[in-house]
Amino acid sequence: MTYFTLLHWFAMIVIFLLLVLVIIVTIRNHDGKSSLYPPILTAFFITLIFAAFTIYGLDKLTKIARLENIVQKKVLINESFSISGQIRNIGNFKIGTCVLEVKISNESFERAGTEGISFVPKSAFDNLFNWGEESHSVETTKEFVIAENLHKGEMRNFTVFMRYPPSYTKPYTRYELFCH
């Protein structure tokens, strides 16, 4: 669950007051020839979209955490690996949930043995011109909840385990943290 901060509540009150103001102005300027429902519904939906973007933006600015002392170890017995470390809330507000997204990708055939860029994101524009070609990169993604109810300045230890797919010859691992 995401926690609303004082900033979230203030933004929601301002957005609600703007919606009420727009509805009052719409009713006062009504000429009686057309219906009131379309402008009021339009204002409501625009306000709803604006509120969603505001909550998302405030979550990104207020719910800030950092990974520290990250250690990745291979477990050869069952062909898996572990990522362990600490997560710290460096923001000024309580964080509801922190999710660690771990991605394992097999090194592609065309760049095997080179010292190039380790990750090249794919785009939809690139897919338009590569209809018949098969992608040589395989990617496995898994999400782990590593912290819940993380207070301001609090630090917690975590460990996650994930298996390597057996077909991977040279796996590349990367991870990303999402908190809300």
Which whole number is the average pLDDT over 125-134?
Answer: 58
- CA distances (Å), origin 115, targets 93, 107, 110, 111, 137: 41, 12, 12, 8, 17
The CATH code of the domain that includes 151 is: 2.60.40.770
In the predicted model, is pLDDT for residue 139 greater than 60?
A: yes
In the predicted model, is pLDDT for residue 150 greater than 80?
A: yes
Task: Identify whether residues 98 and 25 lie together within a single domain.
Answer: no
pTM: 0.70
Task: Identify whether residues 58 and 35 lie together within a single domain.
Answer: yes
User: How confident is the model over 37-71, as pLDDT tens digits?
Assistant: 999 999 999 999 999 999 999 988 888 999 999 99
User: How confident is the model over 151-168, as pLDDT tens digits?
Assistant: 999 999 999 998 887 777
Task: Identify whether residues 25 and 100 lie together within a single domain.
Answer: no
pLDDT band (50, 70, 90) for residue 33: confident
Pair type for strands 95-106 and 171-179: antiparallel
Task: Identify whether residues 162 and 151 lie together within a single domain.
Answer: yes
Q: Which domain holds residue 50?
A: 6-62
Number of domains in the chain: 2
In the predicted model, is pLDDT for residue 104 greater than 80?
A: yes
Position 117 scores a pLDDT of 46
Task: Identify whether residues 30 and 91 lie together within a single domain.
Answer: no
Task: Identify whether residues 29 and 76 lie together within a single domain.
Answer: no
pLDDT band (50, 70, 90) for residue 116: very low
Task: Identify whether residues 155 and 94 lie together within a single domain.
Answer: yes
In the predicted model, is pLDDT for residue 131 greater than 90?
A: no
Residues 95/61, Cβ–Cβ less than 8 Å: no
